[in-house]
Amino acid sequence: MTVKQISVFLENKPGKLADFTDVLSAQGVDMRALSIAEASDFGIVRIIVDDVYNASTVLKDAGYICSITKVLAIEMPDEPGALSRIIRVLGNAGVNVEYMYAFTSSKKGRAYMIIRVADNEKAIDVLKSCGIRPICQDELSEL
Amino acid sequence: MERYYQPDIECASREQIREWQSERLKNQVKNVWDHVPMYRKRMEEAGLTPDDIQSVDDLHKLPFITKDDLRDEYPYGLLARPLNECVRIQSTSGTTGRRVVAFYTQHDVDLWEECCARAIVAAGGTEEDVCQVCYGYGLFTGGPGLNGGSHKVGCLTLPMSSGNTERQIQFMTDLGSTILCCTPSYAAYLAESIHERGVRDQIRLKAGIFGAEAWTEEMRHDIEEKLGIKAFDIYGLTEISGPGVSFECCDQSGMHVNEDHFIPEVINPLTGEVLPDGEKGELVFTSITKEAFPLMRYRTRDICILSHEKCACGRTHVKMTKPLGRSDDMLIVKGVNVFPSQIETVLMNKGYAANYQIVVDRVNNSDTIEVQVEMTPEMFSDSLSAVSGREKELVDALKAMLGIYAKVKLVNPKAIQRSEGKAVRVIDKRNLYKQ
């Protein structure tokens, strides 16, 4: 009940991000979501794609350092307070969010959040007990 | 009027110097033959006995020793006196964690400090002067050497050690320092800071004694102009004693080697052949008066030229140029000796690939060192704090090995240029040896 996120090491220099997106577009890889965490000299780009194997192979072949991490993808109504409810559930259960980022899809009125926690199993149990079911990798392509 | 700390020695005739050198060399050879097994073994291997060394003309017969020998004999192997006669150690950073440790008897400390006193007097120092020493104190020889020399001259000595520029400038203005001893890059930095604070008119400096790293003539003029001083170069190395092995006089045309203590030779680094005056080669020293840690024909790896030309200052001791380069890959960064192999060791220990590049630069007159390391899949993760944490771990490990801060820059795999054959490990943007 998780999705696979690809994280990529990029130098913090003009043009490096464009090089990266060029590689993906040249191979026809469509990104569902993207976020960047930056340090002074480098950044970590995290992406969500439908076909993880294909995208990671493309990136490795182009010489990038990647790592694949299982993260939670949560669907919610696109309305004020929806995110708060979910985060509150996790917070009350003592689950710490390391980072998260949002994306939308063609489904009207729905929003999605990628959430990285240390213990996926525990987070899934907590969410399920409140009636929230994280999305699986296979479900991504239907969004 | 030129002043000397020890005029009878510093202006002695060449014949007199030769006589001292021959006598002292003979004694030193006997001394190491009797007390240091490594020297005896090396001499025996070369088919020599102490009787083969009758004067300085025979010096070339002795085998060389190198920094590797010092490491192999660490810590006590080259000691020529019982440990209970030694009163001090000083040390340099060394490769792969093993340092070079030099031992001093009281006599050795005194002769070292006398050499520094000669440098201070040559720079115009008298007992009226206030001498601010901002070399590091501790195992590094810079601070202790000039501190001792300043005492011997009778200057009021300010043992500031390095860093804390705010305090340096405050003491300099409040106590009216007249002589400044530090690395040239720190002198340039101090000069900038003094101008920024607008306190130039409260500075009473007249001379600076700057060493422990390479610097250019442009840098000298810049410091002289900004601080209104005359800037003197000083040279030395811990293995031989410390700063003051040679020093500049008012003529600023090379550094006089204290030849009554240290015999210099310049050799072809490939063949070992001794080169005549005016030819560029590797500098070799023999310490003929040291008791505890005498080095015989020690290869410094510094490239320079010797000159016996008569000097306008009246001193008769041979002059050496500033080091014009190195015959090994050692870098001097912020006055600290750095070998690429030290950095490689840290990277290997931490599991990084051996693909790295060291970029040395001088920014605002201060040396910077950056180690570029190629990222590996093992080192990477999706967590920024994890990757930054690894980066910091590397910075800390480098600091522990080198003794100075080195910036770590993680780069893409294959970002570091591969060259045919020998890898380009070091990019030194400072151009220090440009003459």
Inter-residue contact B143 to B137 (CB < 8 Å): yes
A35 and A74 share a domain?
A: no
Could you tell me if B395 lies within 8 Å of chain A, comparing CB atoms?
A: no
Instruction: Give a yes or no: residue B14 inside a domain.
Output: yes
* Beta-carbon count within 10 A of B353 CB: 15
Predicted local distance difference test score (pLDDT) of residue B418? 67
Q: Give the pLDDT of residue B96.
A: 46
Answer yes or no: do B409 and A64 touch at CB < 8 A: no
B243 beta partners: B236
Residue B434 has pLDDT above 60, yes or no: no
Per-residue pLDDT tens for B297-308?
999 999 999 999
Residue B419 pLDDT more than 90? Answer: no
Shortest Cα–Cα distance, A44 to chain B (Å): 7
- Which of B378, B384, B411 should one mutate to test binding to chain A, selecting the residue with the greatest count of A CBs within 10 A? B384
Say if residue B194 is in the same domain as residue B341: no
Last residue of a domain, one of B327, B350, B375: B327
Q: Which residues of A touch B376 (CB under 8 A)?
A: 65
| C-alpha to C-alpha distance for B306 and B300, rounded to whole angstroms | 14
* Band (B1; pLDDT cuts 50, 70, 90): confident
Q: Is the CB of residue A116 less than 8 Å away from at least one CB of chain B?
A: yes
Is there a single domain that holds both residue A29 and residue A41? Answer: yes
Cβ–Cβ contact B391 with A under 8 A: yes
Cα-based distances in Å from B69 to B64, B78, B259: 10, 9, 24
d(CA B421, CA B41): 38
Which amino acid, B232?
F
**ipTM score:** 0.86
Q: Which residue among A13, A44, A69 closes a domain?
A: A69
For chains A and B, CB pairs below 8 A equal 54
Tell me, yes or no, whether B44 and B189 share the same domain: yes
pLDDT at B345: 84
Predicted confidence (pLDDT) per residue in B272-284, tens digit: 999 999 999 999 9
Average pLDDT over residues B399-428: 82
User: Taking CB atoms and an 8 Å cutoff, what residues of chain B touch A67?
Assistant: 377, 380-382
What is the sign of the dihedral through the CA atoms of B169, B171, B174 and B179? Answer: negative
Which domain CATH number covers B430?
A: 3.30.300.30
Pair B250, B224: CB distance under 8 Å: no
Burial of residue A12 (CB within 10 Å: 0-12, 13-18, 19+) is: middle
Measured CA to CA, the distance from residue B54 to residue B34 in angstroms comes to: 17
A39:B376 CB<8 A: no
Q: End of a domain among A53, A69, A85?
A: A69
Torsion angle of alpha carbons B131, B135, B137, B140, nearest 10°?
A: -140
Does residue B421 carry a pLDDT above 70? no
Number of domains in chain B: 2
pLDDT at B205 over 90: yes
Give the three-state DSSP class for B106: helix
CATH code where residue A42 lies: 3.30.2130.10
User: Higher model confidence: residue B149 or residue B333?
Assistant: B149
State how far residue B391 is from chain A, nearest Cα, in angstroms. 11
- Together in a domain, B256 and B146: yes
> In the predicted model, what is the mean pLDDT of residues B207-221?
89
| Inter-chain touch B409–A46, beta carbons under 8 Å | no
Look up the CATH number of the domain holding residue B183. 3.40.50.12780
**pLDDT > 90: what percent of chain A?**
87
> What's the residue count for chain A?
143
A79 shares a domain with A62: no
Domain boundary among B273, B294, B327: B327
For the whole prediction, is pTM greater than 0.90? no
Q: Which of A52, A69, A86 is the last residue of a domain?
A: A69
Sign of the alpha-carbon torsion through B429, B191, B3, B115: negative
What is the average pLDDT score of chain A? 93
> Given its phi and psi angles, is residue B244 left (phi above 0), alpha (psi -120 to 50 degrees) or beta?
left
- B179–chain A nearest CA distance, Å: 41
Determine, yes or no, domain membership for B305: yes
Between CA B148 and CA B154 the distance in angstroms is 10
pLDDT number for residue B433: 67
Q: Is residue B2 assigned to a domain?
A: no
- Between CA B394 and CA B392 the distance in angstroms is 5
Work out the minimum CA distance from A35 to partner chain B, whole angstroms: 11
Taking CB atoms and an 8 Å limit, are A7 and B391 in contact across chains?
no
Q: Is B337 or B85 the better-scoring residue by pLDDT?
A: B85
pLDDT at residue B95 in the model: 46
Res. B435: pLDDT tops 50: no
Round to whole Å and give the CA distance between B183 and B103.
24
Range of the domain at B414: 333-434
Closest Cα of chain B to A8: distance in Å? 8
Q: Which residues form the domain of A25?
A: 3-69
Q: Residue B384: which of A10, A37, A66 has the nearest Cβ?
A: A37
Coil, helix or strand at residue B410:
strand
Same domain, B337 and B292: no
Place of tokens 């920014």: B363
CA angle B190, B193, B198 (to 5 degrees): 125
Binary contact (A7, B411; C-beta < 8 A):
no
Backbone dihedral region of B124: left (phi > 0), alpha (psi from -120 to 50 degrees) or beta? left
Contact B391/A39, CB-based, under 8 Å? yes
Do B282 and B237 meet the contact criterion of CB atoms below 8 Å apart?
no
Taking only the tens place, the pLDDT of each residue in A49-98 is 999 999 999 999 999 999 999 999 999 999 999 999 999 999 999 999 99
pLDDT number for residue A37: 95
When divided into structural domains, chain A yields a total of 2
Mean pLDDT calculated for residue range B393-403: 91
B288 shares a domain with B387 = no
Q: Where among B327, B353, B368 does a domain terminate?
A: B327
